[in-house]
Structure 1
C-alpha cells in the first residue's frame, strides 16, 4: 500500500505535507551556502558612477526645471492673455459706457437745442404777432388820423371854396356891374329900337381890362343895335376888371354879357 493512499491518510493531511515540503525546498534553494564579501570597486569607477549619477540627476533636475519654467511661462502667458482679455473687455466696456454717455449727452443736447429752438420760435412768433398787431393798430390809427385830417382838409377846402366862391361871386358881381355901367355910359343905340330887343356878346379881355375882341353870340335882330353895342364896348375899353388874376382868368378872360336898349342912357 502506498503512503499516498487516501485510505491510509486523509486528503487534507496530504495537502499539508506537500505544502511543507515545498516551503522547505524553497529555503534550501535560496539559503546562501557561504558569506560572500563584495569585491572592492576601484575609486575611479566609483567616481565615474557617482559623476554619471550626478549628471543624470542634474539633467533630470534641469529638465524638470525647464518643464517647470515652461509650465510657469505657459501659465504666465495664459495669465497675461487672460489679463489682456480682461483689460480689453474692461476697455471695451469703458468705451461702450463712454459711447453710451456721449450718446445720452448728445441726445440731451439735441433735446435741449430743440427745446431752445422751439422756445425761440415761439418767442419769435409771439414777437412777430405783437409787432404785426402793433403795426395794424398803428396803421389803423394812421388811417383814422389821415381820414380825420382828410375830412378836416376837405371841410377846410370846402369852406375855403365856398368862401372863395362867395368872394368871386361878389367880386364878379361888382366888376360886371362896373363894366356894365362903363359900357352903358358910352353906349348910344340907334333910334327906332324896342326895349325888349337884346344883344348877347362875348368879350375877350386881357388882365389890364383892354378889349381885344367882341363877338355877337345872339343878335337882337337889329344890326344897327348890335353894332352900337360893339362900338360902346370898344369905346369903354379898358374895362374895370378885377385885380386878382384868378378871378380874372375864371370869369373875365372871356366875358359874356347881354344888353337891352332900356338900360342905355342918351
Structure 2
C-alpha cells in the first residue's frame, strides 16, 4: 500500500502526540505514587521514657555510717570535755580543802596556847603546794588514762565489727545456693586463718544433712582464699584466728 507524504506526516504526528500524552500520564502517575509512598513510609519518632532513679542504697548507707561515726565522735568529745571540767572542779575543791587544813584556828580569848604544841601542830598540818599539785596531776592522769582506755575499747570493737561485716559480704558474694536448699537447713563451718588472712582450713562443724548444701557453703569460703583482717596481732588471735560461719538458705551469720 502506497501512502502519500501527507498521510505519512499525519500518521507520524499522531504517533508522537500519543507518545507525548502517554508520557504525561505516566509522569503524573509517578508523582502521585511517590507522594503516596512518602505518606506511608514516614517514620514515626522514637520516644525515650524518662524514669526517676531512686537514691543509691549503698551510697546512702555509707553516708549514714559517716554521719553516725561523726555523731559518736562528737558525743565522745562532749563527754571528755565534761570529764575534764569535772576533774578541774575537783582539783579546785581539793586544793581549797587542803588550804583550809593548813589554816591555824585562833585561840579562845584569855587562853594562851602552849607554844610547843602549836609549833608541832603547825608542822603536822603544813602541806607542800608542789606536792599537792603533783598528787592531783597523778590523779588526773589516771582518770584520763581510764577514759582513754574505755574509748579505745569501743573504737576497737567497732573496727572488729567492720572486718566481720566485710568477711560476711565476701562469703555471700561467693555463695551459690544449690537448688536442693530448703528453709530450715543450717550448716555451721569452722574457718581457720593465718595472720595474713589466708584461709588454711574449713571444716563442717554441724552438717545441714544435705551434701550439696554443705559443699556449697565450704566452696563459698574457700573461693575467698584470703580475707582482710586486723593487723593487730592480739585482736587477730582473739577474734579472727578461728571463727564459725552459720549458713542458712535465707541468712548468713558469723
Q: TM-score, normalised by structure 1?
A: 0.41
Greater Rg by CA:
1
Q: TM-score, normalised by structure 2?
A: 0.43
Structure ranking higher in helix proportion: 1
